[in-house]
Structure 1
Amino acid sequence: MINTIVRILFMAYMAHASIDRETVSTDDYESYSIWTSEEIKVKLDKWKDVYPDFFHMTSAQEKYGLPAAGSDADCPFHDVTGCHNFIITIQDFITHPEGSYTSARLPEVYWSGCLHGNERVGPTSVMHAASLLLQAASCEALPRTKDKDEIAAARKCRHELEKKGISEHQRKWLARLVSTRRIVMTPTTNALGYYKNKREEGRIDPNRDFPYDVKDPEDCMQTIAGRTVNEIYREHLFQLSLTFHAGTEVVGYEWGAPHWLGKLSPDDVAQVSVGSAYSNYGGGWSASKAYAYGTMNDLVYYVRGGMEDWAYAGSWDPDRVVQCEPTSFDGYPKEKTRYNNSTLRIFNMLIETSDDKEPKLHLGNSVDVLNKDTKGNGHISRNIRLALLAAELVEPYVSVFKVNELRLSDDVVPLLTAGEESCRKGNTVMVAKNTQQVDISWTVGGSMTIDNTEVWYAKLDDVEGRDLDCLKHPSDMAGFVKGEIIGGTNGTSAFSSNGAFPTPKVDEPDGPIFTGRISIPSSTKPLDQIVIYVSARVDQDWKNAPSETYAPLVGPQSHIANVRTNPDWHHESAGKFVDGRLDWFSRPLYVILGDFEDAIGTQSGHTVGTLEHNVRFENHNAGQGGVLPKSARKERMWFPVDMTFLLLLGALVLALCLFCACLCRSDGSEKFAPVVQMDDEDDYAFDSAPFSDRADTELELRPMS
């Protein structure tokens, strides 16, 4: 009867929640429009104040000492001469402080809003993509303490994102991107051209201004836009980049220079894979099909001095790179167009966003903007998704989201210092002492094809002394035992044309879902710890040469292809590092054997459910002396709450109390009563997880006095 009551009320609440989720008023979404230069500047200034731990802003003039293009009459909304080229960095500066080991190894992505100032979709698209990242990361970082204001802010921001169509899994995905990558963007790369709504910067086309396949050293680095990009690239090791244009609707990649007409690049297999993902995730609508994708020479036209081929081949094809000697703006040092072997190995893809340079219709809106099939799809909507997908695909990752039937609260939490101690606190669950096996579920991201995935485990005592933290991948699995995989060991990502496989359930992350099982060693005692890793090998077809004619006759040259297929790949430049590997590992998961059984379990032989240690708040007496640790989900206290939920919860408590009272009167045997714990911070929370967080809700029962 108890289970029946619980399930009925749970279904009623979830039905109510789903109605709220689908009912979106016009106040909850934004109809997109093209932002002006001034609107972009106002928004950037606001973010600088609101998101100081995630958002750094400078300009090419401030950082690199470049002059500004334009006169006093241009860009008058800030107190400088000419138009400044703003440079934005989105990064978790608390988890990865500048100059730290992890900061130097973050995978890097670059977004260029516009090289041509009259091609207007890109700047607004990257601004909205950045806004989503910042909102999600700052929200996911809350609450940091038990402070009531922080808890209230955490609830509020989650509710607001939900109203905009950003689900829990999507919020966590966006927050992960911020906390595990570095995203650099120039919203208006051609700042003067964008302000004047002119293609060129002055009289020079910035997308003919890069030192690749040009004939005259005076014909490159003439623009401040080109020099801005050059300075940024010299300072980073980008793997993926998007440069937004307009005039047709295409995802274009190398080759796009006249020297390579009729040839494919050595990275064509990987480029086709990434290009297809952009096309698929961008989607289309009644007035526009999904993006065509292919080489720029085939789908657009060749150019000399194009940004795309320069960024891809400038480091490994020196025969086509010239050292520039421009005369504009008092010249530019020629040594700044001399590149090392590492800097320019980037998939710098051209996005031709729309047939019209500045479309007036079909810009889209923010309703479910992360879903490609949204009814609000449009030119801006789909390019928001493309920008975010670039951040996703730049590096593979494995994320454990469930242990037994408990869905874990967190995998990546922004603004936490990463280290072995914090890693253990944030990735630990407890199971009952007589547990014989543990099931693990995970997803694999940052890739297109999952070739193989495995689960590994060991008693912590057997692998002590190894680096078991969230900073590094294991160098080998010596001392670990391979677990059992339940179901398939390979699959495809959510961004492939076939979608995620193995297919996720409704309440699971959007990527492919895998499950494994570990057997607890018979020698394990209560309070012993088991450490678990999950590994994945991905996109191994990217190391293959394209099947058709390609040139030059070398293997893949890009960082992104080699990072996941070549374990000997190592590059460093400007204090940044890129290293290859075959296997990508999850953060370590620690499983503690508790010294407890619950009251029902003692009589029925079933053990208590899996319990999660809290990554935000310290547990007290967790697993000690038979005391059950509180559920982390209970202590977080940020699930959406409204009066309907409170009424349903009250009805549940009343029904259970009446039922237990009846049991007490029925006979003299020992009875069990549900425990409802009322805390100062959350006076409506159960000791166990709230209904919305558990697949099969269980109530803690204790003997009645």
Structure 2
Amino acid sequence: MTTSSFVSFITLFLSLSSSILLLVLLQLPYGNSEEESYIRLSLDEIVDEMQSLATKYSQFVTYDTSQNRYGLPSTCPSSSSQNTGCYNHLLIIADPIIYSHKSGEGQLALQHRPDVFLSGALHGDERVGPVALVHVATLLVKAASCQAKLTVAGNDCDALKESLGIENVAWLARLVSTRRIFVVPTPNSSGYYLEQRNEDYTKPNGQSTSGIDPNRDFPYNQAPSQCMKSITARTINELFLEHLFQMSMTYHGGIENITFEWGATDVPDNRVSPDDVGQRILADKMSLYAGELYSSGQLNTSPNGRFYETGDMNDILYGVNGGFEDYAYAGSWEDQLQAKQCTPSTYDGYPAEKTQYDDATLRTFNILVEISKTKDPPSSQLGTNVDLFNAPFAFDNNSNNGYAAKHIRTALMAIDMVEPYIEINKFQKKILKPEIKPLKKLRTIDADFSNKRWQKRRKLVKTRPKLNKKVEWSVGGSINVDETYLIYGKYSNFPPNSFGSVNQLNQSEINAAIEIATATSAGDQLLYVTEIQSGGTRWTDPTLSDVPTFSTLLDLTPFEKGDELAVYALAKVDQNWKNTPSGNVWPVGKDVQSHIVRQRTDETYVSNKDNIGRSVQGRLDWISVPLTVLIR
């Protein structure tokens, strides 16, 4: 090769290399390998992603259709017209291991683990909800997989933690392990596939119709012949019959607000539900967590004018006949407007007994979100995952804080709020690892405390018996912390058969420990209780970036070298939710009725669904997994 040829070759090589490098750089998201823009999705794309999640994350995800699971008919009239819109698709996300104990403890924990329902689009032309819920499912299982240290192709855990924050990844994983989450991005698959409001319906004689509106098709404030006509409504009904949902979100579009019950036309004017206090507080906080919807010059009429307006449906939206929202909230206890049995003629009918409900099935907080004034906004308004969990979620004209980003957050908040929890985070300067690790059994301690498996627990510290040992903890799944404190002492001094369990304790068991701590003289004291504090959670003001914590100083001088101590954090939360507005509650004289309110405010409340082995147990004090302190 001549010198001139060699020079020409090198020049060409460098030119090509620069071009390739430029192309690569142009394809890399700036500053974050996990950066993602949310885009509009077809039903085929949604179903592909659902099936992919079930394949890649099979430890946590089950994909199914209501046709396969419940034997419901396809919405398509002939085999020649089959497509993804003919079937109603769903995901179930749960941790199968955490409570898989052979003893009765695990079964009781599974019995009490709360169910959450997420509906993306009862109306097929309202299309942001499904996009948000697909990403909710993806975030949850990616986080759980990372915390479980699974190797999954395409899941970069380091990038996920950099993008969302280590604490948020642990939080998402906790939700997967401690709840069962049912994600139905497109319950009205037919309408979504055809990009129309109603479920498509053709009569048996081949005559076409205008379709069936699924959100007028539930047995509340509706004639028996006019409910359960759609496969959409039957799909949701079957899911509610098979599970015990305490919290539900249903996403719509065409307006911009966040509302709750009542939403039935025949409810008297200016009347609110018995659970109005809790519903209203939760909706207000969800509005803040969604983030600013308007700039300062575009205020709505709500007190926080830059955010989604909130209120009951009959007040700020409109009432309907046969709405999903009131059915899920009141179908088990309010019988004035409840249809006795549905008798539809469509799809060869539906068994009447499927709309006869027990006392437990339909007591669900069901929040309706009207996402955007445009039912199908362009991808440019859906946002990105940039600063997804970084408050204050300021108005940015939907650049990052777009409509999908907002309601990824509201759905996750709903999952968190279904049940309170407490976690001890820090001892002195030592930051403690999360107590929940997906796909790992939550460890128990033998009733006689002879089993030393506690030493393998994730929350273990060693220290000398001195004054002023600082412990820090936080409270979740709630908005207001009415009381929180620590109780501590030697493991052997706690009441047996309860404090070593994986379950929440009955109030009588907690009271027994407190009595031990307060009934003995100082010299003979067996257990110790710290001062009672009150305060907030991450949901008290969702526009703040820091999660509130509590702390106190322990006196460990009464203990000796070799003592094994347990430190538990307890909390009483959201006690104002049990209040009912005076004078304007309908039905007159009713107290709070929902599982989610009574579960945290009424220690005597028990609601069983024996046919599926599920129940809701009320309590006042919620207790953490213990911090183990070894005195050296």
TM-score range for the pair, normalised by the shorter chain length? 0.7 to 0.9
Closer, same or farther in 2 for the Cα pair 1:97/1:483, shift >3 Å? Answer: closer
Closer, same or farther in 2 for the Cα pair 1:217/1:59, shift >3 Å? Answer: same
Query: What pairs with 1:178-193 in structure 2 (closer than 5 Å)?
Result: 178-193=176-191
| Helix, strand or coil at the partner of 1:515 | strand
Query: What pairs with 1:243-254 in structure 2 (closer than 5 Å)?
Result: 243-254=250-261
Query: What pairs with 1:390-429 in structure 2 (closer than 5 Å)?
Result: 390-421=414-445, 425-429=456-460
| Counterpart pick for 1:120 among 127, 141, 152 | 127
Q: Does 1:205 align with 2:213?
A: yes
Closer, same or farther in 2 for the Cα pair 1:469/1:40, shift >3 Å? Answer: farther
Closer, same or farther in 2 for the Cα pair 1:410/1:560, shift >3 Å? Answer: same
Asked whether the equivalents of residues 176 and 412 of structure 1 are also in contact (C-alpha less than 8 Å), the reply is yes
The normalised TM-score by structure 1 is 0.74
User: Structure 2: which 5+ runs fail to align?
Assistant: 1-28, 201-210, 299-305, 446-452, 518-526
Q: Which amino acid aligns with 2:530?
A: E
Q: Alpha-carbon deviations, 1:168-200, whole Å to 9, x = none?
A: 111111111111111112111001011001100
| Counterpart pick for 2:95 among 92, 95, 104 | 92
| Counterpart pick for 1:316 among 315, 333, 346 | 333
Name 1:539's counterpart in structure 2.
574
| Helix, strand or coil at the partner of 1:258 | coil
Asked whether the equivalents of residues 74 and 195 of structure 1 are also in contact (C-alpha less than 8 Å), the reply is no
Query: What pairs with 1:307-346 in structure 2 (closer than 5 Å)?
Result: 307-322=324-339, 323-346=341-364
Q: Distance in 2 between matches of 1:519 and 1:372?
A: 37
Q: Which amino acid aligns with 2:164?
A: I
Asked whether the equivalents of residues 423 and 469 of structure 1 are also in contact (C-alpha less than 8 Å), the reply is no
Closer, same or farther in 2 for the Cα pair 1:540/1:154, shift >3 Å? Answer: farther
Q: Which amino acid aligns with 1:113?
A: G
| Helix, strand or coil at the partner of 2:423 | strand
Q: Which amino acid aligns with 2:118?
A: W
Q: Distance in 1 between matches of 2:495 and 2:338?
A: 51
| Helix, strand or coil at the partner of 1:494 | coil
| Helix, strand or coil at the partner of 2:177 | helix
Query: What pairs with 1:544-555 in structure 2 (closer than 5 Å)?
Result: 544-547=579-582, 549-552=584-587, 553-555=589-591
- 1:74 is displaced (CA, Å) by 5.3
- 1:220 is displaced (CA, Å) by 0.3
| Helix, strand or coil at the partner of 2:336 | helix
Q: Distance in 1 between matches of 2:112 and 2:356?
A: 24
Q: Does 1:61 align with 2:67?
A: yes
Asked whether the equivalents of residues 492 and 499 of structure 1 are also in contact (C-alpha less than 8 Å), the reply is no
Q: Does 1:496 align with 2:540?
A: yes
Asked whether the equivalents of residues 536 and 585 of structure 1 are also in contact (C-alpha less than 8 Å), the reply is yes
| Helix, strand or coil at the partner of 1:110 | strand
Name 2:620's counterpart in structure 1.
582
Name 1:430's counterpart in structure 2.
461
Query: What pairs with 1:26-105 in structure 2 (closer than 5 Å)?
Result: 27-71=33-77, 72=79, 76=83, 83-97=86-100, 100-105=107-112
| Counterpart pick for 2:164 among 155, 163, 166 | 166
Closer, same or farther in 2 for the Cα pair 1:401/1:299, shift >3 Å? Answer: same
Asked whether the equivalents of residues 401 and 411 of structure 1 are also in contact (C-alpha less than 8 Å), the reply is no
Closer, same or farther in 2 for the Cα pair 1:424/1:84, shift >3 Å? Answer: farther
Closer, same or farther in 2 for the Cα pair 1:285/1:75, shift >3 Å? Answer: farther
| Helix, strand or coil at the partner of 1:122 | helix
Name 2:229's counterpart in structure 1.
222
What count of residue pairs does the alignment treat as equivalent?
A: 547
Query: What pairs with 1:290-689 in structure 2 (closer than 5 Å)?
Result: 290-322=307-339, 323-360=341-378, 361-374=380-393, 376-421=400-445, 425-463=456-494, 465-469=496-500, 471-474=502-505, 475-476=509-510, 477-478=512-513, 479-480=516-517, 481-485=527-531, 489-497=533-541, 510-520=546-556, 522=558, 524-547=559-582, 549-552=584-587, 553-573=589-609, 574-594=612-632
- 1:447 is displaced (CA, Å) by 0.5
Asked whether the equivalents of residues 110 and 183 of structure 1 are also in contact (C-alpha less than 8 Å), the reply is yes
| Helix, strand or coil at the partner of 2:615 | strand
Q: Distance in 1 between matches of 2:403 and 2:80?
A: 31
Asked whether the equivalents of residues 88 and 232 of structure 2 are also in contact (C-alpha less than 8 Å), the reply is yes
Q: Alpha-carbon deviations, 1:196-226, whole Å to 9, x = none?
A: 0110002110000000011x31100000000
Q: Distance in 1 between matches of 2:72 and 2:459?
A: 50
Q: Which amino acid aligns with 1:384?
A: I
Closer, same or farther in 2 for the Cα pair 1:24/1:592, shift >3 Å? Answer: farther
Closer, same or farther in 2 for the Cα pair 1:443/1:243, shift >3 Å? Answer: same
Q: Distance in 1 between matches of 2:568 and 2:198?
A: 52
- 1:239 is displaced (CA, Å) by 1.1
- 1:547 is displaced (CA, Å) by 4.3
| Helix, strand or coil at the partner of 1:169 | helix
Asked whether the equivalents of residues 294 and 307 of structure 2 are also in contact (C-alpha less than 8 Å), the reply is no
User: Structure 1: which 5+ runs fail to align?
Assistant: 1-22, 144-149, 501-505, 595-705
Name 1:602's counterpart in structure 2.
none
Provide the aligned C-alpha RMSD in A: 2.3
- 1:73 is displaced (CA, Å) by 6.0
| Counterpart pick for 2:142 among 126, 130, 135 | 135
Q: Distance in 2 between matches of 1:252 and 1:378?
A: 20
Asked whether the equivalents of residues 483 and 518 of structure 1 are also in contact (C-alpha less than 8 Å), the reply is no
Q: Distance in 1 between matches of 2:230 and 2:435?
A: 44
